[in-house]
Structure 1
Amino acid sequence: MPRQCLEQINQNQTQGDIIEAGIALGGSAILLARLMPPTAEFHGYDVFGMIPPPSPRDDPKSHQRYQIIAQGASPGLGGHRYYGYEPNLYQKVLDHFQAFGLPPNSPRLHLHPGYFEDTLTFCPDQHIALAHIDCDWYDSVKTCLERIYPALSPGGYLILDDYYDYGGCRQATDEFLAKHSDLQIVLCQENLVLQKISPDDTPANQVVF
């Protein structure tokens, strides 16, 4: 789905940077950075380590998932170590970017280690064309939506990776949608994809996948 959104951003010449909150090993971040418009910058945000625990606003499934992670019992993808157990995840992600010919922390590629409430800030003149939010829990998703939305360009996309996986993500998103009528749902299958619209948007710019 990020690929289709990027194609629409390029087609409609939507202005702004590309954001990912929750990078893990860097797979989707590398895809976004490789396909982003030539005028955009990529900004990736992550703790690059063990994720913080869920809060009382999260569902039992989220707490059960976190207990497995905290106990060191979570399997990784493809038989590899779970990314949160990597002793130097930040360096591993840097190496992954480099292996795909994308020197990180260059003028167009920026990685921001730390908690979202500390790192997810934008300049007043900065615009966002697409944000991939992949951070599981209620508090993290709420922080991302509140920080990213004001900078999101008309026609820009928000991709909620965990909307159908974790109740906290779904609740935070539904609460935010109830307050912002200029966000329309353009896909509600594996992920939830939202597009920011304005009253003068033409139907051609409002794409439902």
Structure 2
Amino acid sequence: MTSDAGTQLYLELLKKTILFEIWLEHEGGNATPTNRWEGLDWPNIAHSMIGRLRMNQLHEAMDTVLREGIPGDFIETGVWRGGACIFMRGFLKAHGMNNRRVFVADSFEGLPVPDPQYPIDATSTFHTQDFLRVSLPEVKNNFRKYGLLDRQVTFLKGWFKDTLPVAPITQLAIARLDGDMYSSTMDSLNNLYPKLSIGGFLIVDDYSIGYCAAAVHDFRAIHNITDPIIPIDITGIYWRKTK
């Protein structure tokens, strides 16, 4: 087996493990191969709810960053149990890349109460959903289970409006946003997009949620961003920064 083949085999197994695909029959609820593929269920056990299509797109984005030499670190804003960030770190380790970091940004206390500054979020009830609250120790322990908790992983604990403006980030190659709400999405875009490299990937997990989509379109309009939005599945989208 070649080194490249071994790397791809490891990363494929890592995806299967993070998404709990191998043991799906033990998940319960509405976990089916189709729902897990499309990220339509909220897993009882798996470390990510983004599903296989969005995980594959993240993999393809990182492959492109590596192949094209696009500079910068990786970040996800809104990490739940940490699965997508675990995969980011696994990708870097599998490729022997020691010059990039993975930033793991979350309140680790669930989603915020709607901010009156953003009236569109007024009807959001995400802050009442205990299932979305995953503590920092639990996420760190999930990284540890894969042998991927190390100095290339930086945790940013707190609300995005507080942590992202002062985060020790200089340049990004991938920014993956999973904040659900208008406020969380806009805070991420305002603070991270200026640091995204040309050719870098801006990935939005929750585009099907009205609050999130509104923030995306408002930000793109304000900054005259015309790079085409590319759908991943029924909720995820991305575009590549060209200017």
Q: What TM-score results when the alignment is normalised by the length of structure 1? A: 0.77
- Identify which of 171, 178, 183 aligns with 1:134: 178
Q: Judging changes above 3 Å, is the alpha-carbon distance between structure 1 residues 147 and 183 closer, same or farther for their aligned structure 2 residues?
A: farther
Sequence identity (%): 28
1:129, 1:153 within 8 Å by CA — same for their partners in 2? yes
The 2-side partners of 1:52 and 1:125 are apart by 23
Q: Secondary structure at the match of 2:121?
A: coil
Aligned to 1:40: 100
Q: Secondary structure at the match of 1:148?
A: helix
Superposition deviation, residue 192 in structure 1: 1.3
Superposition deviation, residue 9 in structure 1: 0.6
Q: Judging changes above 3 Å, is the alpha-carbon distance between structure 1 residues 25 and 142 closer, same or farther for their aligned structure 2 residues?
A: same
Give the length in aligned residue pairs. 178
* Unmatched tracts of structure 2, length 5 or more: 1-56
1:54, 1:138 within 8 Å by CA — same for their partners in 2? no
2:107, 2:157 within 8 Å by CA — same for their partners in 1? yes
Q: Check if 1:19 corresponds to 2:75.
A: yes
Superposition deviation, residue 42 in structure 1: 0.7
Q: Judging changes above 3 Å, is the alpha-carbon distance between structure 1 residues 13 and 53 closer, same or farther for their aligned structure 2 residues?
A: same
Q: Check if 1:188 corresponds to 2:204.
A: no
More strand by share: 1
* Unmatched tracts of structure 1, length 5 or more: 73-81, 199-209
Q: Judging changes above 3 Å, is the alpha-carbon distance between structure 1 residues 15 and 173 closer, same or farther for their aligned structure 2 residues?
A: same
- Identify which of 67, 90, 115 aligns with 2:136: 90
RMSD of aligned residue pairs (Cα, Å): 2.2
- Identify which of 203, 210, 216 aligns with 1:167: 210
The 2-side partners of 1:122 and 1:90 are apart by 19
Q: Stretches of 4+ moved more than 2 A in 1?
A: 53-56, 65-68, 121-125, 179-183
Q: Check if 1:31 corresponds to 2:84.
A: no
Q: Secondary structure at the match of 2:79?
A: coil
- Equivalences for residues 5-154 of structure 1 within 5 A: 5-36=61-92, 38=97, 39-55=99-115, 56-58=119-121, 60=123, 63=124, 65-66=125-126, 69=129, 82-84=131-133, 89-104=135-150, 106=151, 108-121=152-165, 126-154=170-198
The 2-side partners of 1:114 and 1:58 are apart by 19
The 1-side partners of 2:170 and 2:127 are apart by 38
Q: Which amino acid aligns with 1:148?
A: L
Identify which of structures 1 and 2 has the higher relative contact order when contacts are C-alpha pairs closer than 8 Å and 6+ apart.
1
The 2-side partners of 1:125 and 1:45 are apart by 12
Q: Judging changes above 3 Å, is the alpha-carbon distance between structure 1 residues 167 and 182 closer, same or farther for their aligned structure 2 residues?
A: closer
Q: Judging changes above 3 Å, is the alpha-carbon distance between structure 1 residues 149 and 183 closer, same or farther for their aligned structure 2 residues?
A: farther
- 1:117-169 per-residue CA deviation (whole Å, 9 max, x = no partner) reads 111136798110001100110011001000001111000011010011x1111
Superposition deviation, residue 189 in structure 1: 3.7
Q: What TM-score results when the alignment is normalised by the length of structure 2? A: 0.67
Superposition deviation, residue 4 in structure 1: 1.1
